[in-house]
Amino acid sequence: MSLYQFPRWSDAIRPILGVTALGAPVYLVLLFYYGASPKTLAVGYEPTQPVPFSHAVHAGELGMDCRYCHNTVDTAAHAAIPSISTCLNCHGDGEIGKGRIHLDKETLAPVREAGAGGDPLEWVRVHDLADYAYFNHSAHVNKGVSCVECHGRVDQMDVVRQVEPLSMGWCIECHRNPAPRLRPLDQITNLGWVPEDGRTREEVGLELMEKYNVHPRQDCSTCHR
């Protein structure tokens, strides 16, 4: 008969059984809620790129405008990744480029090869929205939403990484209350901009909402088609 009985030591488990039964669902819910959240999964994504291009050097130290390379950002949905010929404007040695900067740098070899008729570079997409979400860069940068609001201080990153969750909830937050995330259009690519006259971003933003006619839409079809 004793074969079919729980051993005596199992009595010790009984007090914590209740706690486990109650705690497990809570734990699991929290695990999935926080574990599967874009804040956990997406933020901090920092893939290695084929060329170790440093935004910190180009946009930060050298102070190049974002639009020098991403030149379709204010006219089109896509902010174009620059073609090799753009790189060669400074790093080329031939007809296209007159810059002749770092001509023999090892890490720039793929760029030179591509420019000389080789395969184009395959950059890894860092900020990757779902395919059913249609984001339009120009609609944002023309209304005073700076690059930094979604992409962070790219001008301080050697390797670009994702700093915002880019989840739908996060998008909607700003569409509901855009004021603190707006800045004057002439400061749009100045990632470190702060209001000069001591006013808060909120105050400046409310003024700009009026000025730029900012009425973010929250319809489903704004982003999903």
Partner 1 sequence: MPPLERSDSTRKYWRSLNELEQTPEFQELVKEEFPAGPEQEWTEPSRRRFLQLMGASLALGTASSCRWQKEYITPMVDRPEGWVPGSPRHYASMMQMGGVAQPLVVTSYDGRPTKVEGNKAHPSSQGSTSIYAQAATLEMCDPDRSQAPMRMVDGVEQESSWEDFAGFVRDHLRGQLGSGQGLAVLAPSSSSPAFAALRARFLETYPQARFVEWEAWSRIEEQKGLQGIFNANIRPIYQLAAADIVLSLDEDLLGIHPDQLRHARDFATRRRPEDRTMNRLYSVEPSFTLTGAAADHRLPLRGSQVAGLLLAVQHELAEKHGIGQGGAPASAPNTGVFAEEQVKKFVTAVAGDLAAHRGSSLVAAGPTQPASVHAAVAALNAALGNRGQTVEYHVAEGAPAADPSELVALISAMDGGQVDTLVCLGTNPVYDAPVDLDFAAAYAKVANKVHFGLYRDETAVQSDWHLNAAHWLESWGDALAWDGTYTIAQPLIAPLYNGQDAYGFLGMLIGRGEIEAQSWIRQQFGAAFGPDELTWRTAVQRGFQPGTSFSRSRETAVIAAAPSFDAAAAKVWEKGDALEAVFRVDSTLYDGRFANLGWLQELPDPMTKLTWDNAAVIGPATAKALGLKDFDLAEFTVDGRSIQMAVYVMPGQAPGTVGMPLGYGRTECGHVAGLNADDIDPVGFNTYALRASNGMAFAACSVSAKTGFYQLVSTQDHHAIDAIGLAGRADRLGDLVRGGSLDEWRDHPDFAQHQVHHPPLKSLWKEHEYEGYRWGMAIDLSTCTGCSACTIACQSENNIPIVGKDEVFRGREMNWIRMDRYFTGDEENPEVQQQPVGCQHCENAPCEQVCPVAATVHSSEGLNDMVYNRCIGTRYCSNNCPYKVRRFNFLNWNKDLAQEGAEVRKVSMNPDVTVRVRGVMEKCSYCVQRIAAARSERTNKGERIQDGDVVTACQQVCPSEAIHFGDLNDEGSVIRKKHENDRAYAMLAELNNKPRTAYLAAIRNPHPDLAPAHAVDSHSDHEEEQHG
List contacts with partner 1 (CB under 8 A). 36, 41-42, 45, 47, 72, 74-78, 80-85, 96, 114-115, 117, 120-125, 128, 130-132, 134, 136, 138-139, 142-143, 213, 217-222, 224-225
Nearest alpha-carbon partner for 137 in 77, 63, 183: 77
Give residues with Cβ within 8 angstroms of 188, minimum separation 6.
141, 144, 146, 147
Among residues 23 and 35, whose Cβ is nearest to partner 1?
35
Residue 55: is it exposed, middle or buried by C-beta count within 10 angstroms (0-12/13-18/19+)? buried
User: What are the tokens at 42?
Assistant: 């997406």
Residue 96 C-beta: closest distance to partner 1, Å: 8
Among residues 60 and 97, whose Cβ is nearest to partner 1?
97
Separation in Å, CA 63 to CA 55, 57, 59, 170, 189: 10, 8, 5, 29, 10
To which H or E segment does residue 176 belong? helix 168-176
Residue 217 C-beta: closest distance to partner 1, Å: 6
Residue 77 C-beta: closest distance to partner 1, Å: 6
User: What are the tokens at 202?
Assistant: 């909120």
Among residues 127 and 153, whose Cβ is nearest to partner 1?
127
Among residues 112 and 181, whose Cβ is nearest to partner 1?
112
Residue 106 C-beta: closest distance to partner 1, Å: 20
Among residues 138 and 202, whose Cβ is nearest to partner 1?
138
Q: How far apart are CA 123 and CA 180, in angstroms?
A: 32
Residue 36 C-beta: closest distance to partner 1, Å: 7
